[in-house]
Every structure is written in C-alpha cells, then in structure tokens.
Structure 1
Amino acid sequence: MVHEHVRDIYTRAARTAFLDREAVRGAGDAELEQLVGGQRLDSLPAAAGSVLRLVGGAKGPWFLGERLVLADADPGGLKEAALGCGTQETGAQLHDTAGMLVLTCHDGTRYEVVDGCDLSMADPPVWILDGTGDVQKSCGSLTEWFSRAADRVVNLSKDVARRARQGRPTPPWARYFTISASTRPGRAGDRTEGGAESRP
C-alpha cells in the first residue's frame, strides 16, 4: 500500500541519517485542505498526501534548497508561479496544467509537478516544468521522487558526520541531525546511543 511504502522510505532514511525528531513536522488535515483548495485540485494523490503528512509542516533537511509546498510556500502562489511558465510544444507535455499539483520550486525557475490528468492515481509520475515552459519527466512515481529525496537526506548526514570526524566546521543543515564526531551514519537501523529515532 502506498501509505506504508512512503512511511517506510521516511523511517529508513530518518534512522540511517540520525535525523533529529524535532526537525521535521508533518502537515495536518487543515493544511492539506488548504493545498487542495489553494491549487484548485480535483483530488490529491495518496502518495502526495502521505509524503506531506510526514514532511509538509516543517521539512528539516528534506528537499533542501527547494521550496516545498506547505512547508515553504503558499500553495496557490506556488501554482500561479508555475502556471506562468506555460508549456512548450516539445516531446513531453502536461495534459492538464490548470489542474496540476505543484510540489516544489527550485530557484523560481524549475517546478516539480503532477499532471492534473493523473491526480486520481495513487502514485502518479512527477514532471519538471522549467521557466522556459519545457517539460521533462522527473520520476516515474511520487514514491520514487520521495525515495530520491531520502537518499539526499542520508548523504547530507554523511557529509555532516565526515566534517565532524575531521574537526571541520559543519554546514547549516547539521542542526537537523543528532551527529557527533563519533557518529557514522551507515546501514538503516544502525544506531548509537543518543541517536534520534524517527518520528511517525
């Protein structure tokens, strides 16, 4: 089931990365309703709802460098900005831009979206819409998109741990992890004393 798959992706990354349990907060029902209304959606894919219920309130290190809907951006404003890109008549196209779900924005020029015609799917593909109107497939499914984000979270924690072991200054995102010089993020489930468990 999609919900369990999304939660498993989150839990494994949180444990492996020694994610601070206070760094991340999920979105609640009212926030998800704000998303559906603000972006004028017919529905919200199950996988999107599951992801946002985990990281949509305060995302911590998830989607670092990007504005994630609800966590960082007003849903309606994010969609209006994406709609301003239009689409080009190139190989890949969105069939329903007016009904699309806009998930993230990077540098105000690149948006990750779900085509409006796919919103009834539990785990639809994710597309990249850039400022020129060009459209490319980002991931074959929302769960794949979230899994890639999980890999980035783990890599960020490894960078923090490496810097700590070397006695080098740690980057700003170090605050999202419970990592010390002796911490070595590795396999999922590996914990050291004081490491944070993932929050459901």
Structure 2
Amino acid sequence: DSQSRQQQFLQKVGQGIQDSNSMVVDVSAEFQGQKKAQFVATVAVAYSPVSTKSRFLMFAEKNPANSNKQGKMYVAAETSMPITSAMNFKQALNADSTSYLNAELAFDDAKVQIKSKMMQSQARRQYVERHPLTQKCMQQMQQGNTVQYACRSVIMRANAMDHYKTSVHFEKIPDFWKNATYKAYAA
C-alpha cells in the first residue's frame, strides 16, 4: 500500500539524524491491456545541516504484463560525512574529512553490500597548502575577505578526497549481472 509505505519510509529515513530534512516520493504506473502491468517506486532521502549523517531508501516493484516474474528491489544507503568549513580555509584544511558510505541492495534473491571509506592523504593536504591560490587566499583572509574566488577555490580543494577504499560483498547474483560487472571491470 502506497500510503503506508510512504509513512514508513518517511519515519525510517530520518531516524537518528538530528534536525533532519526528510522527503519521500512515491510513483506508480499501471497499464491496462489484455494483461495488466504495474510499476511502483518509492524513494526517501534525509539530510541535515547539523548532522554528519544522511540516508537514502528506495523500493521498486514491477509486475510486467508479458511475464509472470514479479520483481522487487530494495536499496538502503547511509553516509557519514563531517561538517567542514565552507568559509574558513585553515579550518577546512585542518579538519578530518574522512567519510563513510554503507549501502545494501537486494533484488530477487540477490544481495549486495557496499562499504566505502573516503579520505584525504597527507600528500593532498600538502598540495593544497602549496597551491598558488593558497597564498592569495591567506592575503584575502587577513583583509577579512573569505568568500573571494581564491578562498572559495582552495576551500573546495581542501575538502576534496583523494583516497577511496571500497569493499563489495554479494550473494546469489544472477549470471547476467556477474558478466556485466566483469565486462565493465575489464574495460
């Protein structure tokens, strides 16, 4: 039932996220003919300007007219990203911006679990410290200007990650998806 699913998603998506902004979208399509076809999708997102967490939930279901094979898919993803300064270069550079992504996907009998860690290397920090715009930003900051082009540019660079570690665990993946993954990886 669409209404109860929307309420359930809205309640779950914001759990544990302080002052969350949560939204849910539910779409369904039904096609009449000799056999009826139905497609349903519900997506929910929660984020907060004061919390490091954000969450994404999705449910999709298909009942195609030309097949008796009903399909369902569930996705749940959560990120944890520190709140870093968008206005102060020194704070942005010295902040630990290590971020995490955990996601689970289930469809038919298959399950996929993804865990990612994104971080910034010391070499990246040194690169940003030595960047030509950094000196310009430091001069602008001394004059009280923190939103000029130079500072905006180096703050974005200071918040960027350059090391990513991801692990993927999967169970009962159909051969079609295994082959597609291998081909994409080999390309």
TM-score range, shorter chain: under 0.3
Quick check: which has more Rg, 1 or 2?
2
Q: Indicate the structure with greater helix content.
A: 1
Q: Indicate the structure with greater strand content.
A: 2
TM-score, with normalisation over the residues of structure 1? 0.23
TM-score, with normalisation over the residues of structure 2? 0.24
